[in-house]
Every structure is written in structure tokens, then in C-alpha cells.
């Protein structure tokens, strides 16, 4: 248990290395979820990659699910999608959200994490619930509320579902006509539907 | 190798039990993909569940991917979505496709297989490619072509992506506002977007 000595959790009792160690474990977890997926990621494997004892991973994060949840929520770029609501008019939020979301998928730093999240979301019910809670409560619902949308919960769910489907088709499944488009063209096709879900008439006659 | 004796593959050489055995293996594979997912399904586990030797599974299907592809393509209800094009006017194909697709997810016989396909599609690149090829070439593209749509490939891809996203949100991730709707209400919200992707102006000014 020597690895644990430096990271007791009593208030104020942590040594300076504890935060660094936690960050290292989280980074190793994010790499593992991205490379091996949720199902094959293990506490033991993450501990080995971070150069720490498995007991320390459990002490910080409680379980594999706890580790996944922390890795998911430690994602400033995705959380920052909410700020789009304040950067322009609601009437063109669709194009702005579509463009920023696809950018995140194509950025070499954030893309692998987006992929890991989509893979995990469909792999295990516990991961599904965490991804849904994060994307709904922290991103899509605040965004819909920030523009004062009616039926904000439903609009958030439909917008999220559409973006999830488009990203899955373009970046995960590699559906040719979507995967081959450059980003600007993809945004052109996707944005009107995002806009419809955010501000359009959801149930036309 | 005694299990193999009855199922030599030379033309006309199969005993009557071979087809039955192949059907049993395929059924066991479909159950395993549905219950355990693509990643954790093994040739050995499928063989055990079907009561046959693993070598026989390999003889019939070649590999886990071969087994998955056969299980995927052995799906008359999904393939039959194509017939919707001939059952009414293209102008209301959106509502009809949305309703039939959600029905397949909610049917106790086909639902677990739809779930298995979505899980597999995001789990491994080889499975992604097989799911994409099947859903595009056998279902969405024939459907778009049957109604004489321009840009049929792109329309098929966008329609498939949207249905994939909606089903993932409603049935896999359990996004509350979508999961809680009864099917008729869900179709009401989803159908106009399906229709837009199939016959609408894809790039409005």
C-alpha cells in the first residue's frame, strides 16, 4: 500500500503530488477508453498505464464507472458548446452548433475522446446513462434553455440524437457519402435540421 | 472432429442436418451478439450455446466477423423496410418509414437484434463496416432509389444517420424526453425530418 501513503483523503492532508497523480490517472483512463473502449478498459490496465497501484485508482474514482464518469466530465471543449448560445442569434444557432460539434470530432485532441464516448454510450447501460446525463444536463439542455426554447427537454433530446447519429455515421461507421464530404459541406446539410430541432415547429400540420 | 462429419461442404454432399445446424448456430450467434455484444461474443461461446464444436462454426462462417455478417443479413424485417417505397406515395414515406422502423425496435423479436446491431456498429471497425454496408446497400439506398430521389446516396446516408441517432437516444441511451414518448408521438416528431432527408430540399438558401 505504499502508493497510497501520499494521497490520504483527509481534508488538507494531501501531498502536492496527489493532484498530479489524479490527472495522470485520468489521462491514462481517457487514452484507454479511446483506444480499447469501455468494455475492455480495466482499473488494472489504467493503473499500469499511469504507473500507479490499482488501489490508488479505486481510491480516487471508486470503480470503472466512476473513472469513466470523471473522464467524461473532464471535457472543457464539449462543455463549452453551451457558450454558443450567447455568441449569436438563436436563429443561426443550428449552423454554429453543427460546425463547432463537427470541429470537435475532427480535432486531433478532442476527436478520439468523442469517439470513445460514442463507443461507450452504446456498449454498456451504465456508460449509456452517464453519457446521457452529461450530454443532456451539461450541454444540450442548458443550450436549449439559454435561447429560451419552448419544449426545451424535447428539443435538447432531438438535437442531441441527430448530432449523435450524424457523428456516428460520419466518424464511426464511415458511411461513405457523409464521411467523404468536407466539413463545410457537411455543415450545410446538417445545420438546417439542427436549427429545426432547436427553434422550428416540431409538429407541423 | 466428429462434429464435422455430417457437414462437408462439397456440392450436394450435405446431410439434411447441416442446414438445421447452421440455423441453430446463427440463432445462438444472434442471441450472443444481443446479450453480450460484439466484443465479448466468441466463436467458442456461440458453439457451446448451439451445442456444436467450434470448428464447425468456423467451417460454416469462417470467423467471428463472418458470423456477425451472416447474423446481420439474416434479417427479413429490416430488409423489408425497402418495400415501403412501393406501398404509398413518396410524399409520406417519412412517416411510414419512421413508424415501421420504431416498430421494429419495439417488437420483442426484432428489438434485441436492432440493439445488437447498433452496439456492434460502434464497437469495432470491422462490425461498423458490415453494418454500414448492409444498412446502406440493402435498405436505405434501395429505398431512396425506389422513389427516384436525386442525390440518393446522400439522402440514404442522412436518413440512416438520423434514424440511427433517434433509435440510439430512445432505445439505447434512454434519453428521457424521447424514451418516454409513446411511439405515435415519437413518429410525429421524427417523421418530418425523415421526410426532409428523403424528398426535401437538402440545402435551403
pLDDT at position A50, please? 96
Partner residue facing A173 (CB), from B39, B132, B196: B132
> How many CB pairs (< 8 A) connect A and B?
141
- Same domain, yes or no, for A82 and A48? no
Q: Is 90 exceeded by the pLDDT of residue B134?
A: yes
Partner residue facing A122 (CB), from B122, B153, B193: B122
Query: How close does chain A come to B84, measured CA to CA in Å?
Result: 22
Tell me which of A133, A161, A187 to substitute to probe the interface with B (most B C-beta atoms closer than 10 Å).
Answer: A161
Query: How close does chain A come to B53, measured CA to CA in Å?
Result: 27
Partner residue facing B40 (CB), from A39, A128, A168: A39
- Same domain, yes or no, for A101 and A173? yes
pLDDT at position B15, please? 55
pLDDT band at B44 (very low <50, low <70, confident <90, very high): very high
Residue at which a domain ends, from B62, B88, B110: B62
Give tens-digit pLDDT for B49-62.
Answer: 999 999 999 999 99
Residue at which a domain ends, from A21, A42, A63: A63
Closest residue of chain B to A123, computed from CA coordinates: B119
- Which residues does chain B have within 8 Å of residue A178's beta carbon, measured at their own beta carbons? 154, 157-158, 161
- Same domain, yes or no, for B102 and B182? yes
- Same domain, yes or no, for A87 and A186? yes
**Which residues numbered 9-68 in A keep a CB inside 8 Å of some CB on B?**
37, 39-40
Rg (Cα) of chain A, in Å, rounded?
A: 19
How far separated are the first and last CA of chain B, in Å rounded?
66
Residue A113 cell numbers, joined = 475522446
* A180 vs A170: CA distance, rounded Å: 8
- Same domain, yes or no, for B161 and B126? yes
pLDDT at position A15, please? 55
A88, part of any domain:
yes
The number of folded domains in chain A is 2
Partner residue facing A189 (CB), from B136, B160, B202: B202
- Same domain, yes or no, for A116 and A155? yes
B113, part of any domain:
yes
- Same domain, yes or no, for B87 and B12? no
A70, part of any domain:
no
B71, part of any domain:
no
B69, part of any domain:
no
For the purposes of burial, counting CB atoms within 10 Å of the CB of A182, is it exposed (0-12), middle (13-18) or buried (19 or more)? Answer: exposed
Cβ contacts of A119 within 8 Å, gap of 6 or more: A33, A37, A38, A172, B122, B123
- Determine, for residues A177 and B154 on separate chains, whether the beta-carbon distance falls below 8 Å: yes
Partner residue facing A204 (CB), from B119, B164, B192: B192
Query: Whole domain around residue A16: which residue ranges?
Result: 2-63
Report the candidate in A136, A144, A137 with the shortest Cα–Cα distance to residue A161: A136
Check if B204 contacts A (Cβ < 8 Å): yes
Partner residue facing B168 (CB), from A153, A164, A188: A164
Residue at which a domain ends, from A40, A63, A86: A63
Contact at 8 Å (CB) between B120 and B104?
no
Mean pLDDT score across all residues of chain B: 90
- Determine, for residues A157 and B174 on separate chains, whether the beta-carbon distance falls below 8 Å: no
Give the residue, B2 or A156, on which the prediction is more confident. A156
* ipTM (interface predicted TM): 0.85
- Same domain, yes or no, for B114 and B57? no
- Which residues does chain A have within 8 Å of residue B123's beta carbon, measured at their own beta carbons? 37, 39, 119, 122-123
B204, part of any domain:
no
pLDDT at position A70, please? 95
- Determine, for residues B165 and A165 on separate chains, whether the beta-carbon distance falls below 8 Å: yes
- Same domain, yes or no, for A116 and A139? yes
Give tens-digit pLDDT for B101-121.
Answer: 999 999 998 999 899 898 888
Check if A102 contacts B (Cβ < 8 Å): no
Tell me which of B177, B179, B197 to substitute to probe the interface with A (most A C-beta atoms closer than 10 Å).
Answer: B177
Contact at 8 Å (CB) between B72 and B117?
yes
What CATH number did the domain enclosing B85 receive?
Answer: 1.10.357.10
State how far the alpha carbon of B200 is from the alpha carbons of A191, B85, B92, B143, in Å: 14, 16, 12, 15
- Same domain, yes or no, for A117 and A30? no
pLDDT band at B8 (very low <50, low <70, confident <90, very high): very low
Give tens-digit pLDDT for B145-191.
Answer: 999 999 999 999 999 999 999 999 999 999 999 999 999 999 999 99
- Same domain, yes or no, for B30 and B130? no
What CATH number did the domain enclosing B47 receive?
Answer: 1.10.10.60
- Same domain, yes or no, for B155 and B181? yes
A116, part of any domain:
yes
A112, part of any domain:
yes
pLDDT at position A119, please? 86
pLDDT band at B20 (very low <50, low <70, confident <90, very high): confident
**What is chain B's length?**
205
Mean pLDDT by 10 residues, chain A (205 residues): 42 62 94 88 96 96 96 91 95 97 95 90 88 93 96 96 96 94 96 97 75
Amino acid at each position: 500500500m505504499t502508493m497510497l501513503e501520499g494521497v490520504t483523503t483527509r481534508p488538507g492532508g494531501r501531498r502536492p503530488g496527489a493532484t498530479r497523480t489524479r490527472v495522470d490517472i485520468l489521462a491514462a483512463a481517457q487514452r484507454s477508453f479511446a483506444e480499447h473502449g469501455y468494455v475492455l478498459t480495466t482499473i488494472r490496465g489504467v493503473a499500469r498505464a499511469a504507473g500507479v497501484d490499482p488501489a490508488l485508482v479505486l481510491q480516487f474514482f471508486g470503480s470503472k464507472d466512476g473513472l469513466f464518469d470523471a473522464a467524461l466530465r473532464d471535457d472543457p471543449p464539449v462543455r463549452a458548446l453551451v457558450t454558443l448560445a450567447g455568441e449569436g442569434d438563436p436563429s443561426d444557432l443550428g449552423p454554429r452548433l453543427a460546425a463547432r460539434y463537427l470541429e470537435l470530432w475532427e480535432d486531433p485532441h478532442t476527436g478520439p475522446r468523442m469517439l470513445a464516448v460514442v463507443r461507450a454510450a452504446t456498449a454498456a447501460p451504465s456508460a449509456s446513462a452517464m453519457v446521457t446525463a452529461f450530454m443532456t444536463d451539461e450541454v444540450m439542455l442548458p443550450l436549449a434553455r439559454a435561447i429560451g426554447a419552448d419544449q426545451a427537454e424535447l428539443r435538447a433530446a432531438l438535437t442531441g440524437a441527430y448530432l449523435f447519429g450524424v457523428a456516428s455515421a460520419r466518424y464511426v461507421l464511415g458511411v461513405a457519402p457523409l464521411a467523404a464530404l468536407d466539413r463545410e459541406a457537411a455543415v450545410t446539410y446538417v445545420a438546417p435540421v439542427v436549427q429545426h430541432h432547436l427553434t422550428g415547429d416540431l409538429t407541423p400540420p
